Chains A and B, each alone.
Chain A
Amino acid sequence: MNKYNLTHLKELDAESIYVLREVAAQFENPVLLFSGGKDSIVCYHLARKAFYPANVPFPLMHIDTGHNFPELYEFRDGLIKETQGRLIIASVQQSINEGKVVEEKGINASRNKLQTTTLLDAIEEHKFDCAMGGARRDEEKARAKERFFSHRDDFGQWDPKNQRPELWNLFNGKKHFGEHFRAFPISNWTEMDIWQYILAENIKIPSLYFSHKRPCFERDGVIMAKTDFVETKESEHITEMQIRFRTIGDATCTGATLSNADDLNKIIDEVAASRITERGGRSDDKRSEAAMEDRKKEGYF
């Protein structure tokens, strides 16, 4: 490689740091949404790089459905402690208790969609003017059209047909009172970029990503972990399987894959060979062809 030519991962790294610094400069009270998944972990890592040696100048916020795996909470709290970060927890359970949302019923009940209300309420409560997230454009077709700086109206809604044009690397974060922004620093990364970066930068991730034994069952071709939050039908047999998670979301809608990949190199080989997208195991996206677009318009991540 030419002496003055960046590798693609270094160029993505530089781009994301630039975006994070723009957010810090253009907004008064930004927040980084943190799910404990690999994408938000990479975002947080990039934020630490962007402002080093100063502390990250904004807090993290976890929209907690209460239905996450225990390993995730443990990881989250460990990371925050180690890096002296600030963490805000916005609880979906609390939104349910306050009657703001009604829990879904039935066998496929999930709190995934309820997160939107909790998120919008938390943004209002803390007066955040920009919520950053680890969404990537390669994840899903509606996300392929997202901007780095995504304008939301005072109801938190996204209008995909009327987005501000975004040219060069000049981001327009101007807004009226009550409006806010979403910003996506790792828009241009792919799943493979994330894994290679985690390996190259030696970034810690939750144990759920690595192969382990866990009681599971199969539903509609997707392997689900047996947890207290998921009802199982009589016909669904619970067996111990050797699995890992490719994405980590709420335990009620995140599918596992059969896997022996117990280190990063093996995961990378597996991702390279995989013929199914990582969201292929997410039942939240399967609800309709435009499921993600509909949720995003309402204010989802």
Chain B
Amino acid sequence: MENNYLNMDLLRFTTAGSVDDGKSTLIGRLLYDTKSIFEDQLEAIETASEKKGEENVNLALLTDGLRAEREQGITIDVAYRYFATPNRKFIIADTPGHIQYTRNMVTGASTANLAIILVDARNGIVEQTKRHSFIAALLGIPHIVYCINKMDLVNYDQKKYEKLKSDLVGFSSKLKTKDIRFIPISALNGDNVVNRSSKMIWYEGSTLLHTLENIHIASDHNHIDCRFPVQNVIRPQKKEFHDFRGYGGRIAGGVFKKGDKVTILPSGFESIIKSINTFDGEISEAFAPMSITICLEDDIDISRGDMIVRENNQPISSQDIDLMVCWMDEKPLELRGKYIIKHTSKEVRCMVKNIQYKMDINTLHRIEEGVQIGANDIARISIRTTKPLFFDNYSKNRNTGSLILIDEGTNNTVGAGMIL
């Protein structure tokens, strides 16, 4: 038990589905069948189901956290759930079905390795299926699992499933996601969620949980391009560490080793990694997403927002940046408007130079004429920053390719950007 726990890895996934696709039921089912629900939680939802006059225990109630959500029977905000099996720990970003949908799904998807997209077996591909798939691909989620739900309502019909699967294969070939899988399930009855279904013996693939447990995620981080954004300068001001000057940060890509020749951006100075430090002592190498402290051979002026990279593999450095942006604020994006940008540990200001097009996320068509970018819209824009950013394409590195836009007046996070 103990050794095993220290060897588990972590899979973050997000769930998407339209209203009434049974998303909350599916999550409730995963938690329930993996025995992640405690007696007092179960009692609480039993009481609540009874109060509402429902026949069975409504597993969906497990995931509705806020009072308004329980009263209205809807999910308002992204909620995070946790469960574990002996090999892996899971973090679910549970995103709501309708209000502020895009904004919430983008938020949940930003940190996910995998997306579960629910499709109602009776309805087939609907606009929302396309929207969810597009967002998952846009946010660079490496793995998508389509769960064809409510198989119980189509008599567990294999033909229905195969038809839907081939429709989805056809549609998703337009998207960038490389790993796409399909599972026929009934979240309500638990078919193929944790336990194999006896009603769909024609299905020879894995159950959902088995898929989640075994999907290969070790390659989801970029371990090639070394990027270390400096968060803090660590100077102990203590006698025993009199000359210590370290740079704290979380590796955004690649593997750093003691003795590596590095370049510091933006100054361009070169140095050598003297040591990689942690509370538990020096280590010889470190990789994404570790938090470490780096000391260099030379005394160079480095501060928060600078980036340590390998001299022969540098990120793009530019003030003119093209990006896909998901808008999150009621106040529309302003052409020629000024915003604050947070990118890695750096903060700069920018101006929106151009709006190339808005994406119709239901049809995947581009709208180029007279567009206004409002809440939940996705658009391609060009910005110019006050100082150069050091970045990679989002498709190459999600840490160095992402940024957020902040309104200077309200301080709200108004846009999520993926650098092209």
A residues with CB within 8 A of B: 1-2, 4-15, 17-18, 21-22, 24-25, 48-55, 137-138, 141-142, 144-145, 160-161, 163-172, 174-176, 187-188, 190, 192-193, 196, 199-200, 265, 268-269, 272, 274-277, 280, 289-290, 293-294
Contacts and interface: CB of A to CB of B under 8 A. Distances in A.
A280 B2 contact: no
Interface in B27-48: 38-41, 44, 48
Interface stretch (B5-13, B121-129, B148-156, B178-186): B5-13
A176 B234 CA distance: 28
Given A54-B237, A144-B80, A168-B111, 16 more contacts: A6-B10, A6-B290, A11-B289, A49-B278, A51-B248, A54-B241, A138-B82, A141-B64, A141-B66, A168-B110, A169-B111, A170-B343, A170-B403, A174-B340, A193-B89, A265-B2
A200 to B, nearest CB: 6
B44 A289 contact: yes
B253 to A, nearest CB: 11
Contact of A18 (B8, B80, B81, B291): B291
Contacts of B398: 168
Contact of A200 (B6, B44, B64, B218): B6
Contact of A1 (B9, B70, B84): B9
Contact of B289 (A6, A142, A163, A268): A6
B147 interface: no
Nearest to A136: B82
B52 interface: no
A48 to B, nearest CB: 7
Interface string B204-245: 000000000000011001010000000110111110110010
A258 B235 CA distance: 47
A54 B77 contact: no
B6 A274 contact: no
Given A18-B250, A51-B248, A277-B41, A165 B238 contact: no
B67 interface: yes
11 contacts: A6-B289, A8-B9, A10-B290, A50-B291, A144-B80, A160-B66, A164-B413, A165-B106, A167-B416, A192-B84, A193-B89
Contact of B248 (A21, A160, A192): A21
Contacts of A290: 66-67, 70
Determine chain B's interface SS by DSSP, over half rule: mixed
Contacts of B5: 9, 192, 196
A187 B80 contact: yes
B402 A167 contact: yes
A265 B5 CA distance: 12
B263 interface: no
A167 B237 contact: no
A192 B82 CA distance: 11
Given A268-B2, A274-B38, A275-B38, A165 B289 contact: no
Interface string B55-89: 00000000011111010000011111110100011
Most buried by B among A1, A54, A187, A265: A54
B1 A144 contact: no
Most buried by A among B277, B280, B411: B411
A165 B48 CA distance: 30
Nearest to B94: A144
A141 B61 CA distance: 10
Contacts of B82: 137-138, 188, 190
6 smallest beta-carbon distances between A and B, as pairs: A141-B65, A8-B10, A49-B279, A174-B411, A17-B291, A54-B236
A137 B231 contact: no
Given A21-B232, A165-B328, A289 B48 contact: yes
A142 B1 contact: no
Nearest to A175: B411
A199 B104 CA distance: 36
Contact of B68 (A9, A13, A161, A200): A161
B361 to A, nearest CB: 17
A22 B305 CA distance: 12
Nearest to A275: B39
A258 to B, nearest CB: 16
Nearest to B90: A8
A176 to B, nearest CB: 7
B65 A145 contact: yes
A180 to B, nearest CB: 13
Contacts of B255: 4
B2 A142 contact: no
Contacts of A9: 5-6, 8
Contacts of B223: 4
Nearest to A167: B110
Given A18-B231, A138-B82, A200-B6, A165 B416 contact: yes
B250 to A, nearest CB: 4
B294 interface: no
B103 interface: yes
Contact of A277 (B38, B110, B218): B38
B40 A276 contact: yes
B70 A163 contact: no
Nearest to B248: A21
A228 B38 CA distance: 32
A176 B406 CA distance: 13
A169 B291 CA distance: 13
B218 A25 contact: no
A280 B9 contact: no
Given A55-B236, A268-B2, A144 B67 contact: no
Contacts of A22: 231
A19 B134 CA distance: 30
B68 to A, nearest CB: 7
A14 B7 contact: no
